Structure 1
Amino acid sequence: MKIIRDPIHGYIEVNDEVLPIISSQFFQRLRYISQTALAYMVYPGMRHSRFEHSLGAMHLAKEFLNYLSMNNKIDFLTEGYKTLVSVSALLHDVGHVAFSHTFESALQVTKEVYGENIEYYGKETHVKYGLKIISKNSSLFDKLGKESNISDPIKFLINVIGNTPKTEEERLASQIISNFVDADRGDYLLRDSYYAGVGYGSYDIERLKRVLVYVDKKIAVLKKAIPIVEQFLLARMYMYENVYFHSVVGMYNAILSHAISKLIREGKIDLNNIENLTDIKILNMIEETEFRDPILFRKGYKRIKKDITQECMSLIDKAEINNLMRETEGKIIYYEFFDVPYREESEAVYIYDGEKISQLSRFSNLITAVKDLQKAIIVYHVSMEDKVKKYVEILKSC
């Protein structure tokens, strides 16, 4: 066993059978992929990577299972099973390439603005890439979970990470790594908040771990711990409002997405061979383009200071602004932010009152008060000031 020091969780223990996975080239690559793309342009401390987030998610997955086994009798919850689930959490982001979700945004721009015929799966793109990596390196995983009743560990990993669980064992694992309260969000809220230097993402993770139960094949939270769930929900909402959806963070990620799109369209990025793409490689390519100054030195671009709220979006002609983006090759950019803090029908939080489980909305009025987060910004090169005056005038009426 190896022990890794971590600023969020203290000590992260790594089983010997997991070490070869962490040491593999495809996983080590995550050291050079930023967790939050260009958020460091606004929050200088946000230089952390997908590597440490993945370790943190692995740690929390194991912790959640340890406390579930203390609070419930689950026959299949063996040490081998815990290892398999923690590896699922470890690999949940292994398909991310340079600058994480901003690369996915670049694929969207390439397909929808410039009309290129490329593979793009929305926010699931990194999941698709990750499943390919797991399949390609299957020999690393075929002996995992020897002390479990899982006969095909590779199939287990693919079904859990791909969010297509077939068995009870896979469904529990899927809830651990991809639910509202899960190991992924559980880590990134604390980690991103810490590196941003803000308190918005803080919540009582030690308490949350200890109040998890498994009832009717679902993970639930004890009724007495509802305030912790509400704290978690608010932490997520505040991090999106104040950090992830910060207008200047969005501005630089929007510019970056167009810079990457140009590299794709010019054939400088081969989408059939992106496994080894890192932030450093992309920045080196960008240094030879007109996007060098805005991305490396924060020069040349501005944004219309008024954000476009959900109510005002209908005032913007999407076809027209898409044409402008295409004609100016990213010197004018329309960029949307969208997130759903809580969607009860697909990621319900269940509360256990000692007799039965019910959805959180039965007990908490806070859920109904939380609204979808949606806004947009218009970013432009200083040479395009005259062309965006029209949008400045339109937004004055909002």
Structure 2
Amino acid sequence: MEQEQPVEGECSTPPSHPESSEMEPKVFNDPIHGHMEFHPFLVKIIDTPQFQRLRYLKQLGAAYFVYPGASHNRFEHSLGVAHLAGQLVRSLKEKQPHLLIDERDILCVEIAGLCHDLGHGPFSHLFDGLFMPEAKPEENWKHEDMTVKMFDYIVEELKKQQFDLKEKLQSLSRNTEGDDLVFIKEMINGPKEKGKYLGRPSKLFLYEIVANKTNGIDVDKFDYFARDCHHLGIKNSFDHNRYIKFARVLKVKKKMQICTRDKEMSNIYEMFHTRSSLHRKAYQHKTNKAIELMIRDALLKADLELNISTAAGNVKDFTDLTDGVFETILHSKNWKLTGAGLIEAGLILQNILSRKLYIFLGETKQTDRLVQENKETWKSELAQFDESLQEEDFEITIATFDFGSKDKNPMDNLYYYKKSDKERAIKIPREKVSQFLLPERFSEKWIRVYCKSQDKKSIALEAFKKWDTEKSSGPV
């Protein structure tokens, strides 16, 4: 069957002739990567309600209230990750035919990139990092687990529409290794049994493309660094296209691993510096965190009536759960939803829009001594400095800044090759790395203290200063 030319557009349109258009690719014009063409298997997934839901989830959650340009959503990010995943795996196939990467492998990698964020809740990391631990602490809810459930649901729904993704993928090659759907889910959420990959056990390097557990260098970061910097107005000094250009798969300790040219070391360090910069300037911006705490409190107060946390346990209900819950709570009076919790929640959200935010009192660096202390006692310690203060007046968060591997250098797990020997992986000793690139430490934590009451601002500020002095004067 002769394929028509790809259709350019922001989303695919219902075909007039389903049979002839089933194998039609689609092209999306993206401000970051330009024209991105997707295989019809991916288009089938893109056109599902579960994927379209990502249009209504802000990529940076509450940061939109701090950076007005940060209005981009997880929909376009997911398209970008799929696009870059395809670019990287195709580059490896072209440069190294002996790796035996086939079209089936490529599509599985692209689908994993496309679907990796399906399980995010409203306001992204706020949902699983702040809201769910308090609403359902016993469930240990993670968006990666929900992503797998959403993907399974999509596969079953497509099967009802006479589109069996598993059969379609199997028809592309005679390769019988592993299960394609298991492979896709392992790339997103890791194997069920640690270290035991069932999808592509002979091509473990493919697991480093979407979510790299070895050193954190993956296309997910490539896209959100470029996309977030673009919308935030922050410069991105990392060039992901250079990394893709120089990436090669080589044997490292009896396993095949993605490596890069030795001259690319500075570019990789720039990637981790960019990550750290984004966390400092945006992701963990003190005002952003104040707003996140307020949205969390609003969601918790509204949960009894809106069943937000309950919806997180069911794929059908979760499909309807988006950032739109903010508007639902804010305008609940207009819809005659007037429970006490909703009214209080609406007032909190109205305060965000009126810029009556939780007040940032200050921050102190977390020392070894503070790590050993019980964080839960800090609020009571702050409250004791004035009789008008209560524990509930304070909110404490810990801001962590690192390269993605806690206190370790992720570059320790990255191997290189030289132009003169492209088939041998090497390590570059730390002493041969420019000191301009290496930080003294790879992780630091700051304790941030907020006051919820506008009326107690000055008293709470004095309490924080005294508390900080006591903590700073103690043994480190």
Q: CA deviation at 1:233?
A: 1.9
Higher relative contact order, chain-length normalized (CA < 8 Å, sep 6+): 1
Q: Check conservation: 2:166, 2:180, Cα contact below 8 A.
A: yes
Q: Check conservation: 2:45, 2:154, Cα contact below 8 A.
A: no
Q: CA deviation at 1:78?
A: 1.1
1:314 and 2:314 equivalent?
Answer: no
Q: Check conservation: 1:92, 1:161, Cα contact below 8 A.
A: yes
Corresponding residue number in structure 1 for 2:448: 377
Question: 1:231-267 deviations in whole A, cap 9, x for unaligned?
Answer: 2122112212222122111221122222223333566
1:128 is matched with which residue: 136, 145, 155? Answer: 145
Corresponding residue number in structure 2 for 1:176: 209
Corresponding residue number in structure 1 for 2:131: 107
State the alpha-carbon separation in 1 of the partners of residues 426 and 328 from structure 2: 52
Corresponding residue number in structure 1 for 2:227: 191
SS in 1 for 2:356: coil
Q: Which moved further from structure 2: 63-72 or 383-392?
A: 383-392
Q: Check conservation: 1:37, 1:99, Cα contact below 8 A.
A: yes
Alpha-carbon spacing, 1:232–1:346, altered in 2? closer, same or farther (3 Å): closer
Identity across matched positions, percent: 24
Q: Which moved further from structure 2: 75-84 or 29-38?
A: 75-84
Q: Check conservation: 1:31, 1:49, Cα contact below 8 A.
A: yes
1:280 is matched with which residue: 324, 335, 339? Answer: 324
SS in 1 for 2:258: strand
Gap runs ≥5 in structure 2 = 1-24, 159-164, 192-196, 332-342, 383-388
2:416 is matched with which residue: 334, 351, 359? Answer: 351
Root mean square deviation of aligned Cα: 2.8
Corresponding residue number in structure 2 for 1:39: 63
SS in 1 for 2:359: strand
State the alpha-carbon separation in 2 of the partners of residues 312 and 255 from structure 1: 30
Q: CA deviation at 1:153?
A: 1.9
1:202 is matched with which residue: 216, 232, 237? Answer: 237
1:295 is aligned with what amino acid?
A: I
Corresponding residue number in structure 1 for 2:396: 334
Q: CA deviation at 1:82?
A: 0.6
Corresponding residue number in structure 2 for 1:393: 466
State the alpha-carbon separation in 1 of the partners of residues 298 and 429 from structure 2: 43
Q: Check conservation: 1:38, 1:252, Cα contact below 8 A.
A: yes
Q: Check conservation: 2:402, 2:442, Cα contact below 8 A.
A: yes
Question: 1:256-292 deviations in whole A, cap 9, x for unaligned?
Answer: 2222233335663123233321001234225542312
Question: 1:361-387 deviations in whole A, cap 9, x for unaligned?
Answer: 545353463521422322222134335
Q: CA deviation at 1:10?
A: 0.7
Q: CA deviation at 1:57?
A: 0.5
SS in 2 for 1:77: coil
Q: Check conservation: 1:222, 1:352, Cα contact below 8 A.
A: yes
Alpha-carbon spacing, 1:127–1:324, altered in 2? closer, same or farther (3 Å): farther
Q: Which moved further from structure 2: 34-43 or 334-343?
A: 334-343
State the alpha-carbon separation in 1 of the partners of residues 127 and 247 from structure 2: 35
1:225 and 2:261 equivalent?
Answer: no
Alpha-carbon spacing, 1:144–1:247, altered in 2? closer, same or farther (3 Å): farther
- How high is the TM-score relative to the length of structure 2? 0.74
State the alpha-carbon separation in 2 of the partners of residues 265 and 314 from structure 1: 35
Q: CA deviation at 1:342?
A: 4.3
2:243 is aligned with what amino acid?
A: L
State the alpha-carbon separation in 1 of the partners of residues 320 and 203 from structure 2: 29
Higher Rg of the two aligned structures: 2
State the alpha-carbon separation in 2 of the partners of residues 169 and 46 from structure 1: 41
Gap runs ≥5 in structure 1 = none
1:147 is matched with which residue: 169, 172, 177? Answer: 172
Alpha-carbon spacing, 1:188–1:283, altered in 2? closer, same or farther (3 Å): same
State the alpha-carbon separation in 1 of the partners of residues 438 and 264 from structure 2: 15
